Amino acid sequence: MVRVFADNMFVRMLCISVLVLLIFCTNISDAQNNTHCSSSCGDIHNINFPFRLKSDPGNCGDSRFQLDCQHNRTVITFNSRKYNVLEINYDEFLIRATDPGLEHTNSNCTSSPNYLTTSYPYSSTFDFGISIIPIIYVNCLATVNSSRYVETTFCGSQNQSHTYVAIGEGMLISDLAESCRVEMVGWGSARGLSGDNTSLSSIEGALSYGFDLSWKRTFLCRECEASQGNCFAEGDGYTCSHRCYDDTGFDLPLPCSIHYYGVLTILYGGIVIVSILSLRLLFGLVFLTALIVYKWRRRHLSMYQSIEDFLQVQSNLLPIKYSYSEIKKMTNKFKEKLGEGAYGTVFKGKLRSGPFVAVKMMHQSMASGQEFISEVSTIGRIHHVNIVQLVGFCVEGSKRALVYEFMLNGSLDKYISPREGTVSLSYKQMFGISLGVASGIDYLHRGCDMQILHFDIKPHNILLDENFNPKISDFGLAKLYSSDDSIVSLTAARGTMGYMAPELFYKNIGGVSYKADVYSYGMLLMEMAGRRKNM
């Protein structure tokens, strides 16, 4: 019987060895096929693994690193936009690219990028090189006397106001002059700077040099991610970490493909008694509890990390970031509550410099944090007299807060149907408020490089300052779309019943567009004209 068992074990080991050998040989064959592929386009020669041209055979390179050859220029498609490739450095895992619009030089004006953006570009395949710097294009109503701004003329621009270009590294939104707004952002490299960073030639050099994209993480972490591991930077390289559990419930730093059979063997070979069953049940409960805690922590840590990653790459042009202790201090431990909405509770606070602010503490039930990201990314880039200003924000673990300018007269809803002791607004004031709200909505739809749809225009979200000037607030449901999109896509209806346009929940009557905000504005006007709440 022992001999039969030994023979069976030998056959099993032989089969496993042959299988491993076949997999190893297949991997070597695939690697050789990928290595021997090489192609060229224009000035870029010896294009090989992991890159491939669109015209290369299917076994060449990695499809995530596909390039195209257009008019004898090597082109990389990144975030659905095409950039010209200037250089590929396989030793440093870097590919240098540039916006096609920045390659057309003109001594009389400054070239602007073809792709207008005010946000940091993001990719799951590439990381940005450490030398990348934002170049901001600024439009001002008055002359700005600052060494940081270099006055110039944008090629093709018909604007008669003052236009400037500046290096935006380390620049906060509060650094902008009051009469200025950011028109667009270009991406350059510090390697292209020459001499004084405030000279026009140096800034144009940084733009024409392009920006570096690194595929080091994607290339080195592919095996780790395939085995469900966590790949993270450590020193000059990357480390792969696995966390898994055995039948005893202990957390082990081993690859999760390893299984443990020792406990099962003992159980099958031993006598099943009540004490062992009780012990196994106890270990099972410990394991289940540990697994639930692990899954919960992993989900929430992933959520917090996605928010931190977003805020980190957006840090050049975002408002001030506060700690949670600073939030508690400015609100006097959340002493004075101003109101509560669907996504958070608002408290009155005071900055160290003196001005009052409204602090919105977000509810922890927001599982994905998308409302927080949407509000910061949307309102953080807007500067308009009829849109509430975002002063700062807080992200610390599960604690998230938004700090707005304080509106002395609160929201419009309490003036539409005034209660006893509330000031009644005149029709002239109502007319001025309606014009201000319309101006703010028009700016959201047509005044930015991307159209911003609010999806929640209602009296509660219209705040009034000390002079009863209206400001649109609460961008938790807002979405950004290309200004060329006349019809936009939504996965679910959003807004407040009674103010939502019919096409948001009746899909068969037409597509969703900026007219959804116009409909909500119309319902707002009806309530203002009738001086009573219809909803």
Q: Which two tokens stand for residue 85?
A: 């490739």
**CA–CA separation, 276 and 268 (whole Å):** 12
Which residue matches tokens 């509550």?
Answer: 337
Q: DSSP secondary-structure letter at 487?
A: S
Query: Is 515 annotated to bind ligand?
Result: no
Given a contact cutoff of 8 angstroms between Cβ atoms, the answer to whether 466 and 484 are in contact is no
**CA–CA separation, 12 and 329 (whole Å):** 68
- Which residue positions in the chain have pLDDT lower than 70? 1-36, 104-108, 116-123, 156-160, 173-174, 195-198, 223, 225-229, 232-238, 241-272, 296-318, 342, 364-371, 373-375, 377-378, 418-422, 491, 533-535
Which residue matches tokens 């039930």?
Answer: 365
**CA–CA separation, 274 and 258 (whole Å):** 30
Residues with catalytic annotation? 456
Cα–Cα–Cα angle for 365, 305, 215, rounded to 5 degrees? 145
**CA–CA separation, 453 and 480 (whole Å):** 7
- Look at the chain and count its residues: 535
What architecture does CATH give domain 319-405?
A: 2-Layer Sandwich (3.30)
What is the predicted pLDDT for the residue at 99? 85
Strand, helix or coil for residue 360: strand
What is the predicted pLDDT for the residue at 333? 92
What is the predicted pLDDT for the residue at 253? 44
Q: Alpha carbon 252 to chain centroid distance? A: 33
CA dist 239 to 9, 90, 188, 232, 243, Å?
Answer: 36, 21, 30, 6, 13
Given a contact cutoff of 8 angstroms between Cβ atoms, the answer to whether 95 and 212 are in contact is yes
Q: What is the 3-state secondary structure (H, E, C) of 308-365?
A: HHHHHHCHHHCCEECCHHHHHHHCCCCCCEEEECCCEEEEEEECCCCCEEEEEEECCC
Strand, helix or coil for residue 198: coil
Q: Alpha carbon 68 to chain centroid distance? A: 27
What is the predicted pLDDT for the residue at 271? 61
Instruction: HSE, CB side, 13 Å, CA atoms: give it for residue 92.
Output: 12
Please name which of 457, 445, 449, 525 lies closest in space to residue 488, comparing C-alpha atoms.
445
The third-level CATH classification (topology) of the domain covering 413-530 is Transferase(Phosphotransferase); domain 1 (1.10.510)
Given a contact cutoff of 8 angstroms between Cβ atoms, the answer to whether 247 and 287 are in contact is yes
What is the predicted pLDDT for the residue at 259? 34
Strand, helix or coil for residue 430: helix
- Provide long-range contacts, Cβ within 8 A and 24+ apart, for 197-204: 197/167, 198/147, 198/148, 198/150, 198/166, 199/150, 200/110, 200/150, 200/152, 200/165, 203/135, 203/150, 203/165, 203/166, 203/167, 204/105, 204/110, 204/111
Which residue matches tokens 């073809």?
Answer: 114
Close Cβ partners of 521 (under 8 Å, ≥ 6 residues apart): 437, 438, 441, 457
What is the predicted pLDDT for the residue at 161? 77
Q: Which two tokens stand for residue 194?
A: 């020459």
What residues does CATH 1.10.510.10 cover in the chain? 413-530
CA dist 230 to 121, 235, 302, 403, Å?
Answer: 23, 16, 12, 34
**CA–CA separation, 192 and 181 (whole Å):** 26
Which residue matches tokens 């510090």?
Answer: 190
- 23, burial (CB in 10 Å: exposed 0-12, middle 13-18, buried 19+): exposed
**CA–CA separation, 88 and 47 (whole Å):** 8
Q: Dmax over Cα atoms in the chain, in whole Å?
A: 102
Q: Which two tokens stand for residue 351?
A: 């900055």
Which residues share a beta bridge with 399?
396
Does this model's pTM top 0.85? My answer is no
* Dihedral pair phi/psi, residue 77, rounded to 5°: -95, 125
Q: DSSP secondary-structure letter at 343?
A: S
Instruction: Report pLDDT digits (tens) over 328-366.
Output: 999 999 999 988 876 789 999 999 888 899 999 988 655
Given a contact cutoff of 8 angstroms between Cβ atoms, the answer to whether 464 and 429 are in contact is no
**CA–CA separation, 204 and 99 (whole Å):** 13
What is the predicted pLDDT for the residue at 122? 59
Instruction: Report pLDDT digits (tens) over 3-38.
Output: 444 445 444 544 444 444 444 444 444 444 454 688
**CA–CA separation, 480 and 118 (whole Å):** 12
Given a contact cutoff of 8 angstroms between Cβ atoms, the answer to whether 75 and 83 are in contact is yes
What residues does CATH 3.30.200.20 cover in the chain? 319-405
